[in-house]
Each structure stands twice: as structure tokens, then as C-alpha cells.
Copies of this chain bind each other. A is one copy, B any other.
């Protein structure tokens, strides 16, 4: 009886489409679950159960096998929109970054993407240019689309939006930077260790008078690197007056050049510069050559991040290398962990980094 009904249904309601689909390749349109069910002579609910890993055990093994076979033949794959509407899930996450044209971020994106893809997830990417309104709009839009979590590369130390999301226990992971409030899981490089390595390297070359160009102090990277610099100065018993660290308003070549000029004009004596990132270090190059100083002959320079092409600039730049790809990949893994087990205690990861030694650092000049 039910079989008869199915046949009737098939003939009258779905006949043409099903025939077309059966005539392999003529996929008029994507097959639906209902059509698979009709072909298999079962109710759509049964087909649904058979086709989902979680529920296939509820279905008679042979029936399930038959349904799967037919689904495969018909090239069926579930409509993620319909599924998402029903389940409020989406197998997607939101990835919020400041600016893709900053070479820091593409490797992170790749890391996130690759790990997510391996489990059938994907990421929505958005660039915010650090504009809170854009970020807010993007997050809203993502939530409407049922993203299951977020990866933020935009964290500021004070970051109301992140606090809000954390309060609502939205699954998320911060990359590259951390936020002061709430213990939001994060994946960052071990900046303090990186600074120590860089300074160790300079000290081994004989440098004792070192200065630091610090990045913006509303970002964890800016603060952490500066703090590490100051405490390493003391630990190494090097001169550590306050003026040895200059704060730059932004991570830009121009800001670096400006700070360097100020140091040359009225700062303490120094033979080496540790820059908060590579762009600042490039600014140092500019300021040095303006003043007729040579690197590393007169001043050694160390950058941070080891962006692409830092081995090609002149002189090739010694820089602290950050494992960008791994940061992205680990962030994705952490987020997936949280999604799989919402009660899991949030972990944060501190990834090791290495020093790329090149020729912008050399022995301390003889005075």
C-alpha cells in the first residue's frame, strides 16, 4: 500500500524530474531528500536518518545501505541552507581580520581554512580595517547566517564587542593578539620569548646599548613586546632608562621613521634597535639612511614578524619569525574543540617562534 502510494506520488508529482535524474548526467537540478526517499521507497525522515552519521544507527542497516546507494547514484547532497534553517547550525565560522593586504594575515587565513576544510567546515572572511562599526556589522551578519563561532584577529586590549560575545559565551578564539578582559581562548606567538631571543642575539654580538620602537599600546602585541624589552634590559643588566623605549602610534614605516628620528635627535646612545614589527624596522632603515648611518655598520636592526620579502630588503633583515600558518591552524582546532564540547575549559596557546638572523645585525661598532 505505501509502496503503491509512493509510485503514484512518483508518477504524478515528481515523475519528470526523477526520470531526468535517473537518466544519469541530465541533472536538471540538484536532487532533494524527498526525491531520494521516493526512489528508495521510504519516508523522507527515514532517508534523512540514513544519510546522517549521527542517526544512521536508528535505521535498519540494509535499508540505510540502499538509501545511501540511491542517494549517491542521484548525486544527492543535502541543501545546507535548509539544514541550517532547521538546525541553526551551518558548518561555518566567521574570521574577522583587520586587513588582508597586511602580509601577516594571509597565512593565518590559510591555516584556519585548511583545518576547517578537513572537517567539512569553512570560514567567512571579513576585513574590518579596524573599524568597530564594520566589525559590529560583520559579526551581526555572521550571526544571522548561523556561524557557529568566530576567529578574531582584531582584538584590542579593551574590546567591548568581544566582551559582549564572551558574556554570551559565543564560541571564539583570538589569534595573534589577546584581549585584556575575560579569558577568551587565544593563539599567539610567545612574544616575550621572541624579544628575549632577539636581545640575546644582540648581546652576543656585543651590543649593550639597545633601544626599542614599541607598537601601539592598545594592542597586546605592542604591550607585551615592550614589557619584555624592558624586563630583559634589566635581566641582562643593560642600561634601561625610560627613554630606551619609544611608543609608535601605529605599525607603519612612517611611524617607525618618525620615532627613529626622535631617538637620533634626543634619545640615549644606542648601537642596536629592536623594532616592534617589520614595518617599523623599515622605517628605521629610512631614518638611518637619511642621516647617513649604515646598517649594520653603525646600527644593528631587528624586526618582528619576518614578513615575506624581509630577506630581500637591503640589508636583509634579521627578524623574529612568527608561525602565522600554525597560529591560524591551531586557532581553528581550538575553536572546533569548543564547538564539539561547549563545556570544555577554554585553553590558550603560546606558540614558539624563531629568529631569522640576516645581515641587518652585526658586531657592535668600535667606538
* Min CB gap A203→B, angstroms: 28
Q: Which stretch (A56-64, A76-84, A154-162, A349-357) binds chain B? A: A76-84
Q: Which 3 A-B pairs have the closest CB atoms?
A: A314-B314, A100-B106, A309-B309
For residue A79, which residue of chain B has the nearest CB? B144
Binary B-proximity of A292-317 (CB < 8 A = 1, otherwise 0): 00000000000000001100111000
Residues 61-90 of chain A, each 1 if its beta carbon lies under 8 Å from chain B, else 0: 000000000000000010111101100001
Q: Which of A120-128, A238-246, A267-275 contacts B (4 or more CB under 8 A)?
A: A120-128
Given known contacts A81-B81, A81-B145, A312-B309, A110 and B106 CB-to-CB distance under 8 angstroms: no
Q: For the complex, what is the distance from the CA of A99 to the CA of B125, rounded to whole Å? A: 14
Q: Name the B residues within 8 Å of A126 (CB-CB).
A: 113, 122
A346 at the interface (CB under 8 A from B): no
Residue among A30, A125, A313 with most chain B CB within 10 A: A125
- A100-B110, A101-B106, A144-B79 given; A125·B125 CB < 8 A: yes
Interface residue from B80, B85, B313 paired with A312 (Cβ < 8 Å)? B313
C-beta contact mask, A279-296 vs B, less than 8 Å → 1, else 0?
000100000000000000
Task: Find out whether the CB atom of A109 lies under 8 angstroms from the CB atom of B100.
Answer: yes
Contacts of A146 in B (CB 8 A): 81
Is A130 close to B, CB under 8 A? no
Main secondary structure of the interface of A (DSSP, over half): mixed
Chain B, residue nearest A84 (CB): B81
Q: Which residue of B85, B107, B145 contacts A101 across the interface (Cβ within 8 Å)?
A: B107
Given contacts A110-B127, A124-B124, A312-B282, contact A144 B80 (CB under 8 A): yes
Is A141 an interface residue, CB under 8 A from the partner? yes
Chain B residues with CB below 8 A from A15, complex form:
none
A103 contacts B by Cβ under 8 Å: yes
Residues 97-142 of A at the B interface (beta carbon under 8 Å): 99-101, 103, 106-107, 109-110, 113, 122, 124-127, 140-141
* Size range of the chain A interface in the assembly: 20 to 34
Distance in Å: Cβ of A345 to nearest Cβ of chain B: 27
Task: Tell me how far the C-beta of A349 lies from the nearest C-beta in chain B, rounded to whole angstroms.
Answer: 22
A308 close to B103 (CB less than 8 A): yes
Question: Given the complex of chains A and B, what is the CA–CA distance between A146 and B282 in angstroms?
Answer: 45
| B144 touching A77, Cβ below 8 Å | yes
Distance between Cα atoms of A103 and B99 in the complex (Å): 13
Cβ–Cβ < 8 Å partners of A109 in chain B: 100
Which residues of B lie under 8 Å from residue A140 when comparing CB positions?
77
Q: Residue on B with the closest CB to A313?
A: B312
Chain B residues whose CB sits within 8 angstroms of the CB of A101 once the complex forms? 103, 106-107, 110, 308
Give CA–CA (A282, B85) in the complex, Å: 51
Instruction: Give, as a whole number of angstroms, the nearest-CB distance from A263 to chain B.
Output: 21
User: Please, which residues of chain B bring their CB within 8 A of the CB of A308?
Assistant: 101, 103, 309
Question: Contacts of A141 on B, CB cut-off 8 Å?
Answer: 80, 122
Return the contact of A144 from the options B30, B85, B100, B110 (Cβ within 8 A): B30
Interchain CA distance A82-B140 in the complex, whole Å:
16
Residues on the B chain within 8 Å of A314, using CB: 312-314
Per the bound structure, the CA–CA distance linking A79 and B79 in Å amounts to: 17
How long is the Cα–Cα vector from A140 to B101 in the complex, in angstroms?
28
Q: Which residues of the other chain, B, contact A313 by a CB distance below 8 angstroms?
A: 309, 312-314
Chain B nearest CB: distance from A295 CB in Å? 12
Contact A145 B80 (CB under 8 A): yes
